[in-house]
């Protein structure tokens, strides 16, 4: 049986015309069903501005003739309901079941009202049967600052409004998220917040690290405690990281951080457009390698898992330089750091093992017998991951693979070195400003170990074939950029009223970094898209 809008019912007595012999007495009408009680199934409805929500309810006495005009809302506080109304009643499929469609009237963005249904009893004019109370609130109720750009808003309030001034010291806080459209919100939860980043921490718009008291699902991503808010201060397009993670997700890399653009309100102040992204951490749903214990010091147990970061900033507590390989900073020598196990947990035996494994891999790669299929470099590194990792950096024009900065590798127990995950693609990405050679050639041909890997004809052939395999998917990215542009336009308008990305020149000897910092948002996106398309043509010509 299909749903239909209720119309008023009228009862009429039927008169039977008798034959020539006369009239028969009419049969008495059946008694009209009497409304006994009303029950609702929802306890809370959330209304978007000028949006609707559905309230299911049931009447006791299924044959009761429900009249739409006798259904109204009554507030617990006795004050007339003016923020929303019942726009229509729809019959359900079961007897006595209905749906009331509640409509926001657009008169307020901040309300939360306890109300109930009152249904008129047609057998007793002027009397109503009430339901139980339920709450109707606006999407922005209780948030104070309501940022309306179409993006979800993350609200962080520190204890006593204490400022976040350190990358080392957490500040106690609470966090909640107001969803928007397809994104689900998050009720208030305890957390801690501190600063993060290297150069980016010293810019006016700060990036942050959140550590929740309990693991939470956010925007459909796997449950975890630690989340990052990237400021994207220097990125006029606000989408370099977003697009880069999309490209990485098209490959077979073990894991790519999920991310969603958001607005950030910190201690009641709108801070602009941010990217909420999963932190690079060892976890079953992130970098899924074997978790180490202090007892894993020998045999197969000591072989993993390890998460390594290659970063010229040398800000990892456990780090060293391997003399092999190439980086743009100093020529030879690659900076390695251990991200997992944590510096306070890693044992001397574990550190000795992972340093020795990296050294053996590098010595073999740069040795005379590096092409040997059994004892050469393939024994130590996962070739397919190194190929996919290089392609992401090269397509996005990210020269930091050769810097190196925020470059990751991981090694599971009994396994080889695996490249990834991708992280931090805002500095110089898809820009001829930082990589003028990208106009006609490759950026990362010499990066870290790749100059030597490229000397293997089989590696080069495999890389070329893999690029050609990925190309149809990579060619869809300009359409994705168009989607991101529409999504981010309102956010960009507000963000760039507060922040000037051209101030990044202060961290780069007076020169702007990406080259689009003084453009409009839309012009910067158009430039990003043009350079991306050019990369897809230049790369295969140089492989």
pLDDT tens digits for range 159-188: 999 999 999 999 999 999 998 878 989 999
Instruction: Give the lowest-confidence range in 206-220, 252-266, 326-340.
Output: 326-340
399-455 pLDDT, tens per residue?
999 989 999 999 999 999 999 999 999 999 999 998 999 999 999 999 999 999 999
- In the 3-class helix/strand/coil scheme, how is 431-460 assigned residue by residue? CCCCCHHHHCCCCCCCCECHHHHCCCHHHH
Continuous H helices in 97-165: none
357 versus 36: the higher-pLDDT residue is 357
262-311 pLDDT, tens per residue?
999 999 999 999 999 999 999 999 999 999 999 999 999 999 999 999 99
Please give the helix or strand (H or E) that residue 217 lies within, else none: strand 208-218
**Which tokens sit at 421?**
């995950």
Taking the CA atoms of residue 260, residue 261, residue 263 and residue 265 in that order, the dihedral angle to the nearest 10 degrees is: 50
What's 37-136's CATH class? mainly beta
382-395 pLDDT, tens per residue?
999 999 999 999 99
303-359 pLDDT, tens per residue?
999 999 999 888 889 999 999 987 777 778 999 999 999 999 999 999 999 999 999
- Mean pLDDT, rounded, for 39-57: 91
Please tell me the pTM assigned to this model.
0.81
**Which tokens sit at 370?**
């590096």
- Mean pLDDT, rounded, for 50-54: 92
Name the residue among 262, 136, 131, 156 with its Cα closest to residue 212. 156
Sign of the CA dihedral with 491 first, then 492, 493, and 494 last: positive
Name the residue among 427, 365, 368 with its Cα closest to residue 393. 427
ω into 4 cis (within 30 of 0): no
Please give the helix or strand (H or E) that residue 410 lies within, else none: strand 407-411
**Which tokens sit at 35?**
């409304």
The answer to whether the beta carbons of residues 212 and 269 sit under 8 Å apart is no
Name the residue among 109, 91, 93 with its Cα closest to residue 101. 91
Q: How confident is the model at residue 5 (pLDDT cuts 50, 70, 90)?
A: very low
Q: How confident is the model at residue 12 (pLDDT cuts 50, 70, 90)?
A: very low
Which pLDDT value is given to residue 460?
97
State what percent of residues in the chain have pLDDT above 70: 93
- Mean pLDDT, rounded, for 251-257: 98
């Amino acid at each position: 049986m299909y749903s239909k809008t209720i119309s008023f019912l009228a009862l009429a007595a039927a008169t039977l015309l008798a034959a020539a012999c006369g009239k028969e007495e009419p049969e008495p009408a059946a008694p009209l069903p009497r409304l006994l009680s009303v029950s609702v199934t929802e306890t809370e409805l959330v209304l978007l501005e000028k949006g609707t929500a559905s309230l299911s309810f049931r009447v006791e006495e299924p044959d009761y003739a429900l009249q739409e005009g006798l259904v109204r809302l009554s507030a617990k506080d006795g004050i007339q309901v003016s923020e929303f109304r019942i726009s229509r009643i729809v019959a359900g499929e079961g007897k006595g079941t209905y749906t009331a469609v509640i409509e926001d009237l657009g008169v307020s963005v901040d309300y939360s009202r306890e109300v109930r249904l009152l249904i008129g009893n047609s057998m007793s004019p002027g009397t109503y049967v009430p339901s139980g109370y339920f709450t109707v609130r606006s999407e922005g109720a209780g948030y104070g600052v309501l940022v309306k750009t179409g993006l979800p808003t993350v609200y962080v309030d520190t204890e006593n409004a204490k400022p976040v001034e350190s990358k080392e010291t957490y500040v106690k806080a609470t966090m909640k998220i107001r969803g928007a459209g397809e994104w689900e919100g998050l009720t208030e939860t305890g957390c801690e917040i501190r600063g993060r980043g290297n150069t980016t921490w010293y810019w006016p718009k700060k990036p942050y690290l959140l550590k929740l008291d309990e693991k939470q699902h956010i925007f459909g991503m796997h449950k975890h405690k630690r989340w990052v808010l990237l400021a994207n201060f220097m990125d006029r397009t606000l989408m370099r990281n977003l697009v880069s993670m999309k490209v990485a997700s098209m490959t077979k890399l073990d894991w790519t951080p999920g991310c969603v653009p958001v607005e950030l309100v910190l201690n009641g102040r709108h801070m602009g457009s941010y990217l909420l992204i999963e932190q690079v951490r060892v976890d079953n749903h992130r970098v899924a390698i074997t978790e180490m214990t202090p007892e894993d010091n020998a045999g197969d147990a000591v072989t993993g898992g390890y998460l390594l970061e290659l970063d010229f900033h040398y800000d990892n507590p456990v780090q060293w330089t391997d003399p092999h390989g190439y980086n743009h900073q100093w020529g030879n020598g690659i900076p390695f750091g251990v991200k997992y196990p944590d510096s306070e947990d890693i044992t001397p035996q574990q550190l000795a093992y992972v340093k020795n494994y990296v050294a053996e891999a590098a010595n073999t790669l740069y040795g005379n017998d590096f092409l040997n299929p059994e004892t050469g470099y393939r024994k130590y590194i996962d070739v397919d991951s190194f190929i996919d990792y290089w392609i992401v950096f090269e397509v996005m024009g990210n020269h930091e693979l050769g810097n190196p900065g925020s470059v990751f590798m991981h090694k599971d127990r009994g396994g080889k070195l695996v490249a990834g995950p991708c992280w931090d693609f805002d500095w110089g990405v898809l820009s001829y400003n930082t990589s003028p050679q990208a106009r006609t050639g490759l950026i990362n041909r010499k990066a870290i170990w790749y100059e030597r890997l490229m000397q293997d004809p089989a590696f080069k052939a495999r890389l070329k074939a893999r690029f050609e395999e990925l190309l149809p998917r990579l060619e869809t990215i300009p359409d994705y950029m168009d989607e991101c542009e529409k999504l981010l336009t309102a956010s960009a308008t507000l963000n760039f009223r507060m922040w000037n990305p051209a101030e990044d020149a202060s961290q780069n000897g007076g020169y702007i970094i990406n080259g689009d910092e003084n453009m409009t948002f839309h012009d910067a996106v158009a430039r990003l898209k043009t350079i991306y398309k050019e990369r897809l043509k230049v790369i295969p010509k140089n492989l």
